[in-house]
């Protein structure tokens, strides 16, 4: 097995004090994350890069705008649920299920 060190790579510090590895890839080249995740560069156009992600089914893959939308919805729902008092909850109509 031939091991190649990529000297042209560099890393940037992000605001969360994490490191971001920045790679240049061409069409049909791949990036591997750990042993089970592969990112394929499918095509490159003037203002868009299409990628394919191969990962185990248990790995959630979301576009960032979808992830942020879900996160915001969850935070808003959590805040709203904390605004209810016990008396508000007691006043809700509850139908009991008949056990057979």
Predicted confidence pLDDT, tens digits, the chain (100 residues)? 333 444 445 556 666 777 778 888 899 999 999 999 999 999 999 899 999 999 999 999 999 999 999 989 988 888 877 777 777 667 767 666 666 5
* pLDDT the model gives residue 57: 95
Bridge partners (DSSP) of residue 20 are 12
| Residue 49, domain member (yes or no) | yes
The whole-number pLDDT of residue 41 equals 94
Q: What is the Cα–Cα distance from 73 to 44, expressed in whole angstroms?
A: 33
Q: Is residue 36 part of a domain?
A: yes
Residue 9 lies in a domain: no
Cβ-defined contacts of 84-88 (< 8 Å, 24+): none
Indicate whether 52 belongs to any domain.
yes
Name the one residue in this structure whose structure tokens are 């940037």.
12
pTM above 0.75, yes or no: no
The answer to whether residue 77 sits within a structural domain is: yes
What residue numbers bound the domain in which 42 lies?
A: 18-84
Res 58: pLDDT: 95
Residue 61 within any structural domain of the chain: yes
Is residue 23 included in any domain, yes or no? yes
Domain assignment present for 78? yes
Domain count, the chain: 1
pLDDT of 77: 84
């Amino acid at each position: 097995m031939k091991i190649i060190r990529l000297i042209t790579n560099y890393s940037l510090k992000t605001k969360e004090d994490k490191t971001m590895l920045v790679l240049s890839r061409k069409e049909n080249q791949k990036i591997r994350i750990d042993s089970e995740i592969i990112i394929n560069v499918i095509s490159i156009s003037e203002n868009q890069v299409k990628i394919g992600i191969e990962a185990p089914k248990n790995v959630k893959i979301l576009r960032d705008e979808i992830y942020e939308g879900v996160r915001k919805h969850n935070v808003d729902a959590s805040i709203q649920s904390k605004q209810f008092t016990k008396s508000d909850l007691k006043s809700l109509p509850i139908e009991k299920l008949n056990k057979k």
